[in-house]
Amino acid sequence: MVYFTNMKPTVHYLEKHEKDVPWHKVVEIIFITKNPRKKGNKFEIESGGYYVLFEIRNNVLYVINAKKQRR
């Protein structure tokens, strides 16, 4: 479980990924996932055909990447 007090998109997410996976979907995925996988100092989630990469700095969750997974 990860703890944070605020969520913000990174510039990279806004420029490259927001049109593929809208912000409301990213927030939903993060809140319904109980145990994101730790990858170095970042976390990743693979759920429901989506991939989300984020990090937590100073109690703020920053979304770096969000993609629809290809099957």
Q: CA end-to-end span of the chain, whole Å?
A: 28
Can you tell me whether residue 12 is helix, strand or coil?
helix
Sign, Cα dihedral of 33, 38, 39, 40: positive
Give residue 39's domain range: 6-68
In this structure, what is the dihedral angle of CA atoms 29, 35, 38, 42, given to the nearest 10 degrees? Answer: 40
- Would residue 1 count as lying in a domain? no
Number of separate domains in the chain: 1
Q: For 6-47, what is each residue's pLDDT tens digit?
A: 999 999 999 999 999 999 999 999 999 988 999 999 999 999
The pLDDT assigned to 39 comes to 92
> pTM of the prediction?
0.90
Where residue 55 sits, what CATH number does that domain have?
3.30.2310.20
Angle (nearest 5°) at CA 47 between 38 and 7 = 60
